Structure 1
């Protein structure tokens, strides 16, 4: 028979005292040197004292993949606020250890090192600590912080976090891909806080689409030098003269106490502050307080980069004032899994002589209202009517779209950038498309030479892109197999026809007997 537990208070004190040290350590936020945690669905992450935040391996939607990260632990929406290893997921069985000389060390299941906290030599770690602010720190024996997640941010800032000048946070590549994306928030050396797009491989920064205007070249004491997210959830730029410049738009108010706050540069390029009640139910979600910029679709400009969406794409704000990206008619996503990526035309636009001479028979336009790609111009004329604008584009083999507005016509060529669909545009876009294209023709095998050449070359894109030459080569071949030998050309003439020196007449069709035999 099972024994009943005694109710004496001393017994409960002794029971608490005898709990394993590892469990106690996980509830007071301290992580001892030599402690490790494994990527699986069993190990408890390192928790902050109140359990508000966790540090460890967050399971991802993909089976057996984990992200080394810090996340909100108590609320149902366990939002990630920091991640290591450049946002690259690790497989089940990977391990994170806390070492005395190297700090945090991440290794794969075979023991190969993947990432570490890059401590300065001879700064021995005494312990780690997961704060209730969401900041994980490595602490020396004299209580000096050797490393902290707040000074190595990813896409999010939390209350009590400070960004010094030169600081930067990056968006994710997509909602589920934690690699660094195309957008960044930077506090420049001149004191301006800016949002800009960038070229990912080179990290080259394009023109800013938000600027705090907190620099003063005539008097540097008036320039900003810190971005502070205070413990009440207020974010501001601190000038060197101690003046405060709020980042939130004028008139914005929000609850400060009993709420979690975070400011995230989302994957779509919008920098947003959110709040979430600390007392919650399963339906409670993060609520946006303010965001910058107001309309990213029209606020992104400049002559470089693709804009809020990918090249040849169109940006439009949805009901939540967030950007949605879509491909224009006749275009499709370059990467079907990335709706915010670039679009490619589903047809071939050619400058071959026959296409130029027959442009009005081959091409037509799709009209898009309040749509423009304002940074892709290469020609402009005024005054212009709709008919003149269309005619100029359709007879120009470089023209991909013509824009008409204020009696002016702008012609643009691929790739198109900074596409936007918005009432403030107030222009018509005439998007050029090919009426018929060999790559879009149906595929059933034709009856005999119906004029269907695409079935002969199938997926040979080089041949499809040089359609007229393919047609000439095929006609030469038909001349060479004429049933009447007297009709077959000499090798000299064959060479001249292949090179285009001699015009190739349309050959007579071989008899049906030739095909069946």
Structure 2
């Protein structure tokens, strides 16, 4: 009797045979008979890191990369083939070949290798293992000394410095570990920025833009870098300096083994330390240089950088991005090029209308490589520049006459009245300036158009006034919220020193006749040097708006203002105070109820000021509610920065639902009454009655209702 094989048995056999070719998700090792292809991955033993193919952004290119397993955004910390992508990941293979890890593309051509020269190792005994610290190691399993590595990814970092890795210089091999930025968010190819050990003085590390060093950590004093005090106060990881006969290195170690962090050189040229927060993604603990426009030549040639604009870079008038695609990807390094060529050399034979002219550019920083000329007037300075075909700009002020004959780099747009600003005159082709004849025609057209528009507007004016009366409160709320956020961004990020206001509340936000908000009353403000991110100070502020860290006595950051701003947002939404006295003498804490309501997905219109009669944009209202809830998180690391708050309110950043802050959740869950006196005088005492069985609630409520207004 013939026995036919069962389909189930055949299927099991198929999977068994297939395992020898492509191993399943979850393994940590690549052996001789295994390879990565398609969606295959390997995972470190403790399920910390994943290695596999990834595709950045909207591109069609695939790379072998590494990321944290917990990170749903798949933030890449290491890339193998950053300069040689593959198109079809299913027909490409990452496997052992000889003594090396090799990536073969869809045409079976090796495009990346570990390049190990070993005569003793064979393909059958060589293995690659992904470790829990993010180090991909290659070793010969046939050797008695398994700790002797053939190759490790820690020696070849991309843009990220992970805890357990080193940055330094090998005196024997003359090789350095260097962090090199991505070219753009969608291109892991080497960018223009590097973070590496300084060769002339090995006691500090510098950020470079190609061959130009523009920022340094300061020297190592045995505990921290002098210009990065955060390395000493860091509660996530620590840095140690090692110098011996064979190497000079800075080693980074994790202090908290449960915390997920990384230090990276961003494609923007800033060095950032990031901490992973399960409910908020990656949060920046600090970044250097602190301001984006301090990054050398960030906007490239003929690009102007401004901290007050978004995006930061703009081409000068008469110029356009050299690569619009790169600019769309926030890669401004190639700068700008002229829209129209100059007519230099032919100026004598040209009419005045066709000669090159100069565009006035006030309040800008002085570009580098200037040449000084001795002249007595603005006209003479202009004449000298115009006579030189190589001259592209000039300036004349109390510093004398300066001309520039090379590409304009490091231009920064400064605020009017900034003493460091100069008025620059940029040379442009005559075609970049409007013609007088065209101006006359345009003027007539504008007058006619204006008359027609004016007639139409008069007809709608009355209806517009009626609508504005009804919507004025809602409009003022929306504009006031965003304007106040921008004001705090200026205090925290744009001033020479970081200013923590310490007393953000509705009374300190003034509105003019057009509802433009002004942050006022800096009597309790604290000035923080840019060299520090925290400051230890006595408790100050107003009850109901104080962040939880005030009661713990720890040093505060600008995130204390973020918390206060979140409380103000809730009051803007509801049109009433967050604390409301009921008829029975109990106090209703609106923020706790609102946060719980938002997270549960309740109807946000029920939170809106009843005087608006539900007249509000639902999506905008939801966004403001979610932002407010993020701002009042107990942990300061979970709160967004004010610059991020602005992006949230503008809808630039997609929002996730936040958790209910623990302190507020305990208040909501508690059935006990919360009673306290509500006099506003800062000289009167306060009293509270809180649930006796929940010390955290007691601490929080005491903190919020205490009358604190003391410097």
TM-score range, shorter chain: 0.5 to 0.7
- Assess if the C-alpha contact under 8 Å between 1:157 and 1:229 holds in 2: no
Using the alignment, how far apart are the partners of 2:105 and 2:367 within structure 1?
48
Which of 61, 64, 73 aligns to 1:77? It is 73
- Tell me the equivalent position of 1:334: 322
| Distance 1:171-1:245 versus aligned 2 partners, 3 A rule | closer
Q: Distance in 2 between matches of 1:354 and 1:84?
A: 54
Is the CA contact 2:166–2:251 (under 8 Å) kept in the aligned structure 1? no
Which residue of 2 is the match for residue 195 of structure 1? 207
DSSP-derived class of the 1:90 partner: coil
- Residue 160 of structure 2 is matched in structure 1 by 156
Q: 1:181 aligns with which of 191, 208, 230?
A: 191
Q: Higher mean Cα deviation, 327-336 or 97-106?
A: 97-106
Structure 2 counterpart of 1:210 = 215
Contact residue 166 and residue 177 of structure 2 kept, 8 A: no
Matches for 1:251-400 after TM superposition, within 5 Å? 256=256, 258-277=258-277, 280-281=278-279, 284-295=280-291, 297-298=293-294, 300=296, 307-317=297-307, 324-339=312-327, 340=332, 341-355=334-348, 358=351, 362-381=355-374, 384-385=377-378, 389-390=381-382, 392-394=384-386, 396-400=388-392
- Deviations along 1:442-489, one digit per CA (max 9) or x if unpaired, are xxxxxxxxxxxxxxxxxxxxxxxxxxxxxxxxxxxxxxxxxxxxxxxx
Q: In structure 2, do the counterparts of structure 1 residues 236 and 95 end up closer, same or farther at CA, with 3 Å as the change threshold?
A: same
Change in CA separation of 1:247 and 1:46 when aligned onto 2, cut-off 3 Å: closer
Which residue is 1:457 aligned to?
Answer: none
After superposing the two structures, state which structure 1 stretch, 145-154 or 207-216, moved more.
207-216
**Long gaps (5+) in structure 1:** 1-17, 199-205, 217-221, 223-227, 249-253, 301-306, 441-517
Which of the numbers 117, 142, 147 marks the counterpart of 2:151?
A: 147
Q: Which moved further from structure 2: 229-238 or 63-72?
A: 229-238
The residue number in structure 1 matching 2:239 is 236
Equivalent pair of 1:27/1:50 in contact (CA under 8 Å): no
**2:29 alignment counterpart:** 30
| TM-superposition CA deviations, 1:39-80 (whole Å, max 9, x none) | x3xx33111223332111113444653111112232222101
**In structure 2, do the counterparts of structure 1 residues 136 and 401 end up closer, same or farther at CA, with 3 Å as the change threshold?**
same
Report the alpha carbon displacement of residue 255 of structure 1 after superposing the two structures with TM: 9.8
The yes-or-no answer on 1:421 pairing with 2:416 is no
Q: Please show how residues 106-125 of structure 1 align to structure 2 within 5 Å.
A: 106-121=103-118, 122-124=120-122, 125=125
Residue 139 of structure 1 deviates from its aligned partner by 2.8
Write the distance in 1 (CA, Å) between the matches of 2:28 and 2:275.
Answer: 24
CA contact (8 A) 2:95 2:101 kept: yes
CA–CA separation in structure 1 for the residues paired with 2:339 and 2:411: 18
1:395, distance to aligned residue in structure 2 (A): 5.5
Distance 1:98 1:107, change over 3 A: closer
Match of 2:51 in 1: 55
Correspondence 1:9-28 to 2 at 5 A = 26-27=25-26
Q: CA deviation at 1:179?
A: 1.1
The offset of 1:245, in angstroms, is 12
Q: Count residues with an aligned counterpart.
A: 383
Q: Structure 1's 308 and 59: CA in aligned 2 closer, same or farther, altered over 3 A?
A: closer
Gap change, CA 1:114 and 1:420, over 3 Å in 2: same
TM-score, normalising length: structure 2: 0.48
Alignment gaps of 5+ in structure 2: 1-15, 170-175, 226-230, 436-711
Matched residue SS, 1:150: helix
Q: TM-score, normalised by structure 1?
A: 0.64
Conserved 8 A contact 1:158-1:229: no
Query: 1: distance between equivalents of 2:249 and 2:59?
Result: 45
Distance in 2 separating the partners of 1:148 and 1:347: 51
SS at match of 2:361: strand
For 2:249 and 2:385, how far apart are their aligned partners in 1?
Answer: 48
Aligned with 2:82: secondary structure?
A: helix
Deviation (angstroms), 1:274: 0.9
Q: Distance in 2 between matches of 1:407 and 1:299?
A: 25
Aligned: 1:412 with 2:400:
no
Shift of 1:83: 0.6
Q: Which runs of 4+ in 1 moved over 6 A?
A: 20-25, 228-232, 244-248
Higher strand share: 1
Kindly state the Cα deviation for residue 168 of structure 1 after the two structures are TM-superposed.
1.3
Q: Distance in 2 between matches of 1:63 and 1:209?
A: 32
How many Å apart are 1:348 and its aligned residue? 2.1
CA–CA separation in structure 1 for the residues paired with 2:368 and 2:312 = 19
CA RMSD of aligned residues (A): 4.0
**Cα displacement (A) at 1:335:** 1.2
Cα deviation for residue 114 of structure 1 reads 1.4
